[in-house]
Structure formats: C-alpha cells, structure tokens
Structure 1
Amino acid sequence: MIELNDVHKHFGPKTVLHGVNLTIPKGESMVVIGGSGTGKSVLLKCILGLMTPDAGTILLDGQDVARAERDAFLARFGMLFQGAALFDSLPVWQNVAFRLLRGSLARPKLEAREIAIEKLRRVGLKPDVADLYPAELSGGMQKRVGLARAIAAEPEIIFFDEPTTGLDPIMAGVINELIREIVVEMGATAMTITHDMSSVRAIADKVAMLHDGIIQWTGPVAEMDASPDPYVDQFIHGRAEGPIEAVR
C-alpha cells in the first residue's frame, strides 16, 4: 500500500532523512519507532505530501504521491494527531464530522451528525458528548474524539501520531486497544509513529526503527525483543549506553 524508495529530506545543512526504504503492505499495522528529533514526523508528512522529499519516491498503491490529485489522494487517509488537535470553537460532533461537512465527501448535515454519533459510540463515548465542546472533555475523551474523527470517513489508511502522548498508563492502554480493534475491524492499513513501547506492542504487526535518517531495522513485532540490531536493543530497553547518543 505504501512504498518508500531511497527517500531523502534536508533542511539547510541538516539531513533528516538519508535514504529511507520502507514497505507497508495493505492491511498491516506498521509502527515506526525512534527518539525525538529522528525524523518520524517528517517521514509522515512526506508520505502525506505535506513536504516534498529532496530525492527518492513515495508510492501509494503504486501511484507516485508527488503526482497524485490532492483531494482524491487525501480522501483515502484518516489521521489521529498528537494531542488530538480538535477545533475548540466546534462542538464534538462537528469535529468528528469535519471532513463529512466539506469538500468531495460532504454529506447532509443531519446524516453527518448521525455518522459522528455512531463513530463516537465506536470509541466508547455516549451520544450526549456530541454537543459538548473540546474544553469540556478530559484528555482521554479528547483523544477518543480524535480517533472517531480519524475513522469517520472510513479511510483505507490511518496515521497515528504519538497516540498516547499525555495520557496516564490506564487511558493509554484503552486507546491502544481501541486503535488495534478499529484497524483490524476496518481492514485498514495503519502507520503509527511513537516512542511509547507499550503502544508498539499493542498496535504493531511490524516495527521499523528510524535513526540517523535511515531505517536501521524492520521486522515483525514478535521478533523485536530478540533483534540483534544494537539500535533496536538500546531503544526498546531504554539503555543510556549504546550506539544512540543521549542528548545531555
């Protein structure tokens, strides 16, 4: 579904992506791990076409992302943003139905509201939440609303950007379970970027380790703990000593 071939991205003298190669098969959940500032978010933005790589190609279902018609291309994606990223001025149901009220996917307002309430139910929120505003919700509820918005238009591909940031361990576990259930239920292709190892173990079919601008290792999540790669070993066990230098 998604294929990156020798993708490079520079910002002035700083090289962020230095020849990334990665394949995400249709219907699989890929989790990209790596420390802060290693280029995970840049990688995601390049796939979405929000940034243009300096070299290399990115294919979506065999089509070059750089040549895709934008509206049709983006309509295939759902996105759960870090921190939920809800619109404060809109009630919850309009946040969930944001895409369904605009553009080529626009539905009648009543139908969009019904879909939003159904998606809220799917993530464990009652219909009475629909008319509240984001400021009236807890952090965990906001994240669920963000997840409901990500799946509202039944996307083929869903991106999760640090899905458990800012949540306590119990709520993080709830969100991880929801993400896994929904991805399997929808048969969606999923890509998650995170440094939370509990999320990795709960969500991933496969794992890719991004460091120094390249994918250092990729493989099934079941093989991650036994990986001979020193970068993976240091990262997943949180060791200070190893090839990854800690910023002091």
Structure 2
Amino acid sequence: MIELRGVRKSFGPNHVLQGVDLTVARGQSMVIIGGSGTGKSVLLKCVLGLVTPDAGQIRVDGQPATTKGAGREAFLDRFGMLFQGGALFDSLPVWQNVAFRLLRGQKKRPRDEARAIAIEKLRRVGLKEQVADLFPAELSGGMQKRVGLARAIAAEPEIIFFDEPTTGLDPIMAGVINDLIREIVTEIGATAMTITHDMTSVRAIADRVAMLHGGVIRWTGPIAEMDLTPDPYVDQFIHGRATGPIESVR
C-alpha cells in the first residue's frame, strides 16, 4: 500500500532522511521507532505531501503520491490522522471536530448525517452521545485523544497515521488507546503507520516494526523478531539502555 524508495530530505545542513526504503503492505500495522529528531514525523509528512522530498520515490497503492494538482483532495481522502497533541479545534464542539472532513470538500455530507456519523464514531471509541456537544476544553486528555481517534476514522480511511498516540496519557489510558487502535485498524482493514517512543504501544499495535536512525531504516521485521535481532541500535533503543551505539545528548 505504501512504498518509499531512496527518500531523502534535508533542511539546510541538517540531512534528516538519507535514503529511506520502506514497504508497508495493505492492511498491515507498521510502527516506526527511533529517537527524537531522527525524522519519523518528517517521513509521515513526506507521504502526505506536506513536505516535499529532495529525492526518491513514494508510491501509494502503486501510484505516485499526489502532492499537488487536481487529484490532491482525492489522495488525502484516503488518509486519516491521529495527531500527537490531539489537534482539536477549540472553537468547535466535539461532534464537529469528529465530522470536520464530512462537513467539507467534495464528499460533503448533510449536517444531520454528519452528526449521526460523528456520534457513531464517538461510541466506537467509548464516548457517550452527551460528549458530542461539549467543547475540547471540557474534556480530559484521554477523552480528547479518543475524540481525535474518532475523527481519524470518521471518513472510513484506507490508511491511518498515528503520531505518538499515547503521549501525555497515564499508563491505564495509554493501554485503552492502544487497544482501541488495534481493534479499529483490524476492524476496518486499514493500513496503519505509527510513530512512537512507547515500547508498550509498539508491542500492542505493531505487525511489523521499522527503526529509523541516521536517516535510514536500520532494521525492519515482524514484531515477534524485534527482541531477537542482533542489531545493536535496535537492542539499545527497545531496552532503553544509556550505553550503546546511539549517543545520548547531555
């Protein structure tokens, strides 16, 4: 479903991506791990066309990623996104946040229909109908994250990106979000790409794992093989060791 070949991206002297090769199969849940500042978010933005690579190829479902022009909106319609900070619109009630895409664009739905879909998706992530008319500021962090997840799946996307889905959540709520992500991705048959530092999330939601370090994918494989790989970078990262080939910034 998603294929990257030789993708490079620099910002001035900072060479973030230095030839990324990665394949994500249809219906697969791929989790990308790596330290802060290694380019994980830049990689997702390149696929979405929010950042233009300096070199390389990105294909989605066999076709070049559409970054501009007439096909751009249809291209983005295939994606859902759960942002790290929730990224909810403070001035809109919850249901309008969830139905944001449904109320706009080429596939605009009638307002009543969009609201009904939003309430259905809120229920799917464990929130009651009464939440629909509240504003984001009236919700806890965990509830905001659930609303963000409901918005990500509202338009039944083929591909969903999760950017640090459990950041800022306590361990119990993080576990709830991990379980929801796993269930929903399986339920709707979506292809998923997640970036996270949380190894609990990795083990809960990944089919395959890829480690980004030094601008390239150092290792990729099934989640069952992650703990067995002899790669010293992966071993240091997944066990949180201070010593190893990955230098810590002090």
Check whether TM > 0.5.
yes
| Residues 52 and 66, structure 1, Cα contact 8 Å, conserved in 2 | no
| Residues 17 and 215, structure 2, Cα contact 8 Å, conserved in 1 | yes
Whether 1:229 aligns to 2:231 is: yes
Q: Which of 150, 159, 162 is 1:160 aligned to?
A: 162
Q: TM-score, normalised by structure 2?
A: 0.98
SS of 1:89's partner is coil
- In the TM superposition, structure 1's runs of 4+ consecutive aligned residues that sit over 2 Å from their partners are none
Q: Quick one: distance in 2 between partners of 1:57 and 1:50?
A: 15
Offset, 1:112: 0.1
Q: Quick one: distance in 2 between partners of 1:19 and 1:241?
A: 27
One-letter amino acid matched to 2:24 = I
Q: Quick one: distance in 2 between partners of 1:72 and 1:43?
A: 21
**What's 1:46 paired with?**
46
Whether 1:185 aligns to 2:212 is: no
One-letter amino acid matched to 1:5 = R
| Residues 119 and 148, structure 1, Cα contact 8 Å, conserved in 2 | yes
Offset, 1:215: 0.2
SS of 2:200's partner is helix
Q: Which of 136, 139, 145 is 1:143 aligned to?
A: 145
**What's 2:202 paired with?**
200
Offset, 1:212: 0.5
Whether 1:243 aligns to 2:216 is: no
The 5 A counterparts of 1:41-80 are 41-66=41-66, 69-80=71-82
Q: Quick one: distance in 1 between partners of 2:67 and 2:43?
A: 18
Offset, 1:160: 0.1
Offset, 1:100: 0.1
Whether 1:95 aligns to 2:78 is: no
After superposition, the C-alpha distances for 1:50-95 in whole angstroms (9 at most, x for unaligned) are: 0110000000011111466110000000000001110000000000
Q: Quick one: distance in 2 between partners of 1:101 and 1:66?
A: 23
**What's 2:129 paired with?**
127
Count of matched residue positions in the alignment of Structure 1 and Structure 2: 248
Q: Quick one: distance in 2 between partners of 1:180 and 1:67?
A: 29
| Residues 76 and 155, structure 1, Cα contact 8 Å, conserved in 2 | yes
| Residues 32 and 208, structure 1, Cα contact 8 Å, conserved in 2 | yes
Q: TM-score, normalised by structure 1?
A: 0.99
Can you give the 5+ residue segments of structure 1 that lack an aligned partner in the other structure? Answer: none
SS of 2:179's partner is helix
SS of 1:163's partner is coil
After superposition, the C-alpha distances for 1:132-175 in whole angstroms (9 at most, x for unaligned) are: 00000000000000000000000000000000000000000000
Q: Quick one: distance in 2 between partners of 1:104 and 1:139?
A: 32
State the superposition RMSD in angstroms.
0.7
One-letter amino acid matched to 1:212 = G
Offset, 1:105: 1.9
SS of 1:165's partner is coil
Compared with structure 1, are the counterparts of its residues 67 and 50 closer, same or farther at alpha carbon in structure 2 (3 Å cutoff)? closer
Q: Quick one: distance in 1 between partners of 2:45 and 2:145?
A: 21
SS of 1:4's partner is strand
SS of 2:156's partner is coil
**What's 2:4 paired with?**
4
SS of 2:227's partner is coil
| Residues 48 and 67, structure 2, Cα contact 8 Å, conserved in 1 | no
| Residues 77 and 157, structure 2, Cα contact 8 Å, conserved in 1 | yes
The 5 A counterparts of 1:22-33 are 22-33=22-33
Whether 1:214 aligns to 2:211 is: no
Offset, 1:207: 0.1
SS of 2:87's partner is coil
| Residues 40 and 195, structure 2, Cα contact 8 Å, conserved in 1 | yes
